[in-house]
Structure 1
Amino acid sequence: MDTKQKAKYDARAKIFKALSSPVRLAILDYLSDGEKCVCHIVDHLEEKQSSISRHLSTLRDAGVVEARKEGVSIYYKLKTPCVINFFMCIDNVLKEQHEEAREIVETL
């Protein structure tokens, strides 16, 4: 593997690592319908603000979300809304796995 390919895969892995938390996936899902204040994300997910802030920082560092400050509030939105299309693809994989498992059980 050449250096450019390795760099590409390393960059992809960084994004996948940022997406590897159920809480971060829930944050992205919540942001899919628009920009939200951190306080609303905290309330919606019923998590501590410190935890949500760490997760948002990870997502921001991976380039998946972006933030803006308005007064004392910080608002986040998806930087790359196409990530939601990726979630739909993953949901299709899960449905397919479920169907395959159901078919296997039916043959027993």
Structure 2
Amino acid sequence: MSVPLYQAKAEFFRMLGHPVRIRALELLQDGPLPVRDLLAAIEVEPSALSQQLAVLRRSGIVTSTRDGGTVVYALAGGDVSQLLAAARRLLTEVLADRTGILDALRESKAVS
């Protein structure tokens, strides 16, 4: 039995739903990085980063290769960067709307 598309999308977005995963994807937009560089930039425990990278790898959104004793991660495709850019645009719009509402509330409070 196949999974409905809406359910597959929900599972995909749940997979993205962790700050460490999002930060790792943001960092990998500029190209492949070894785990040590990701650790330095994200500042989490190595085991926590490893766990989150494993989730991304299992989902197929990142790939990993070994270079000697170093594991290097990369985005599996360019669409990830487009997704992150779209999320940034949407978040900017949402926050702009909230700022407008807050400004209106502040103005109405000053008038009353």
What is the TM-score when the length of structure 2 is the normalising length? 0.83
Alignment of 1:52-91 (within 5 A): 52-91=49-88
1:26 alignment partner in structure 2:
23
Identity over aligned residues, as a percent? 27
Aligned partner of residue 89 in structure 1, secondary structure = helix
Amino acid at match of 2:64: A
RMSD over aligned Cα atoms: 1.6
* Bigger Rg, structure 1 or 2: 2
User: Offset of 1:40 from its aligned partner?
Assistant: 1.2
Cα distance in 1 between the residues matched to 2:29 and 2:37: 14
* CA displacement at 1:48 relative to structure 2: 1.3
Q: C-alpha deviations, 1:28-54, integer Å up to 9, x for none?
A: 001110001111111111111111110
Letter in 1 for 2:67: E
Deviation at 1:103, TM superposition (A): 2.2
Unaligned runs of 5+ in 1: none
Indicate the residue corresponding to 2:8 in structure 1: 11
Give the one of 32, 35, 49 matched to 2:32: 35
**CA separation of 1:80 and 1:10: change in aligned 2, threshold 3 A:** farther
Indicate the SS of the match to 1:67.
strand
CA distance in 1, matches of 2:102, 2:47: 44
What residue ranges of structure 2 are gaps of 5+ in the alignment?
none
